[in-house]
Chain A
Amino acid sequence: MSNKTQTRSPYSVMDEPHSEIDAATAPVVAPLAIEVADSKDETPPSREVVFDLRDVSVYYGQALAVAGVSLEIHRNQITAMIGPSGCGKTTILRSLNRMNDSVSSFRLTGSCTYHGNDLYASGVDAVEVRRRIGMVFQRPNPFPKSIYDNIGWAPRILGMRDNLDERVEKALRGAALWDEVKDRLKTSALGLSGGQQQRLCIARSIAIEPDVLLLDEPCSALDPISTASIEDLMQDLKNDYTLVIVTHNMQQAARVAERTAFFSLDVSGGQRKGILVEYDDTATIFTRPADKRTEDYVTGRFG
């Protein structure tokens, strides 16, 4: 099933067999009138942990941005991060593949491991981390190159030149874009629609066969039809990848994710900082949240 186990040296990914989540179960209409992707399957306790965050705090300079986040992210699942603006969802997401390294004042405390390896240990090469943990951004950001070169650029620099044509086709098929662009691979990617550009960015990420895809509000700049196609695509992708999505759209989290983390702003002590309020199965978060703040948020009482 997985075709991405061949080049894994620094992080030995355990390829234990694991059970498939059945996402096709009929959606349950929750009391809060939000459709939830699946609620019947309890997460098996043996499910492989991809990311394990223990008491992670992020600082920008002296300012504490996110405080004390602990959560596990499981393999071949979609994990959603929701919460109001400024609560640190994107900061945590970008910490998972060291994208915050370019911010000179960024500092992370606590432990953030990926398949048991500390992502912030001194010997870890951030470039190698990003090679395995891809990212799709809020606004589609295709390179000002042809469609073909957008996909082929990273495989070329990473030494995956063999059968590049097939690799490009496979990536575009994987992102459900092939049929729309196969006749104009040499034309500029900037001529695609917003939704197509975002799927191109997903294709670009999966072309280098990563382990994880991080999606930072991937649909916030897209219309509802493009959004639906990206959400369908995510369901296909989770068979091969572990997905983590930050979204402002609660319905989207409810539709796509097995697990949902609710972040909020804590203003106690005169300091605004993001905190993880509750992390559970999506169905639980949206129907029987344990925390009053989660309930207020998912029922639309604030945020």
Chain B
Amino acid sequence: MLLGLAAGASILAVAIIGLIIYEIVNSASPAISKYGLGFFGHQTWNNYTVFGAATLIFGTVVTSAGALLIAAPLGIAIGLYLSLFSARRTAAIIGPLVEMLAAVPSVIIGLWGIIVLGPFLRSTIEPWLHDALGFIPLFGTPSATGSGVFTAIIVLGIMALPIIAAITRDLFLTVPSELKDGALALGATRWEMVRGVVLSSMRPGIASACILGVSRALGEAIAALQVIGSVFQISSNLFAPGNTLGATIAIQANADNSKLQVASLFYLALVLLAIELLVNLAAQAIVRHYRVPSASGPTIVAAGAPN
């Protein structure tokens, strides 16, 4: 009976995924047959007539990559601190707080992005970066409103951060104390031990943590919509407004859209789904490919326990 329920639930989950994919492909088919693969290269998105996804794919990829660039080093640093460097009591306080950051609804982070972060970036960080590094096209004219790709990168980075921090922390806690002791006994400093033994043996796990973090950024619709400015353009200037797949799907899904527009939105959904699935498959492939047998199994002997 219980077995049947469990099996049924699993089948239901698979069925739902299948149904969603079928529904998306089916609904997108008018746009697929009209635009074909040209959809990916076309930059114009004109609300009743012409639909191309290039600016949205660009915005999605840039914001997610930027978010990863910010969240990965910070998240790994937090993970290292909580698992290896902080006192147990400190970790017991900070750890749950970091995890709570993942529980803040994205619409609230987006709201904070509009009210606090955007104006701050526009008045302080963006002019400073522009003055210092303005010769690089990435740091062009600061945004007029505080909304833009740069703001979205930071908001999405904040959303990816707790995921990467929590997963890498748990990962680093699994490094056997025998390995860490082995490195320290060779006259390595703690940081050399971290680099030589912890980080290098956990590379695949760290990559998976980053991919899970970036997949949250990729799929985020509301927070991105709130801070990115919703302009269909490809700009080398990070401070300029842009748009993402998720944000466009979220804002444009109205009942009174034209048939082609609805189909195009479903086509966007298909692209987003494909990106997410690819990223997830990549994570699984990395874990499978690099899975190394653990050197000495899970830690059983607490380091330094009296005999």
Q: Which residues of A contact B (CB under 8 A)?
A: 58, 60, 65-66, 85-91, 94, 97, 99-100, 102-104, 106, 127-128, 130-132, 134-135, 137-145, 153-154, 157-158, 188, 190, 201, 204-205, 208, 274
Min distance, Cβ B184 to any Cβ of chain A, angstroms: 6
Additional A-B contacts beyond A89-B307, A102-B304 (17; CB < 8 A): A60-B306, A91-B306, A99-B181, A99-B304, A106-B304, A127-B189, A130-B185, A130-B186, A138-B301, A141-B295, A142-B182, A143-B179, A143-B196, A143-B201, A144-B294, A190-B295, A274-B306
Give the nearest-CB partner of B180 in chain A: A102
Check B200–A204 contact: CB distance below 8 A. Answer: no
Nearest-Cβ distance from residue B190 to partner chain A, whole angstroms: 8
Interfacial chain A residues near B188, Cβ < 8 Å: 127, 154, 157
Cβ–Cβ contact B87 & A104, under 8 A? yes
Chain A at the B interface: SS class: mixed
Asked if A141 and B187 sit within 8 Å, CB to CB, the answer is no
Give Cα distance in the complex from A85 to B306, angstroms: 9
CB distance from B92 to the nearest CB of A (A): 14
Chain B residues with Cβ under 8 A from A90's Cβ?
306-307
Main secondary structure of the interface of B (DSSP, over half): loop
Give me 17 A-to-B residue pairs in the complex whose CB atoms sit less than 8 angstroms apart, sorted by A's number.
A86-B306, A88-B306, A88-B307, A90-B306, A91-B304, A99-B185, A102-B303, A131-B187, A134-B185, A134-B186, A137-B185, A139-B178, A139-B296, A144-B201, A145-B200, A154-B186, A157-B196
Nearest Cβ in chain A — how far from B188, in angstroms? Answer: 6
Would A141 and B186 count as touching, CB distance under 8 A? no
In angstroms, Cα B185 to Cα A16, docked, is 27
B residues with CB within 8 A of A: 87-88, 176, 178-179, 181-189, 192, 196-197, 200-201, 292-296, 301, 303-307
In the bound assembly, the distance between CA atoms of A204 and B182 in angstroms comes to 10
CB distance from A213 to the nearest CB of B (A): 10
CB proximity of A141 to chain B, nearest CB, Å: 4
Is there contact, CB below 8 Å, between B178 and A141?
A: yes
Is B179 touching A205 in the complex (CB atoms < 8 A)?
A: no
**Complexed CA–CA distance, A127 and B192 (Å):** 11
A99 to B187, CA, bound (A): 11
Chain A residues with Cβ below 8 Å from B196 are 143, 153, 157
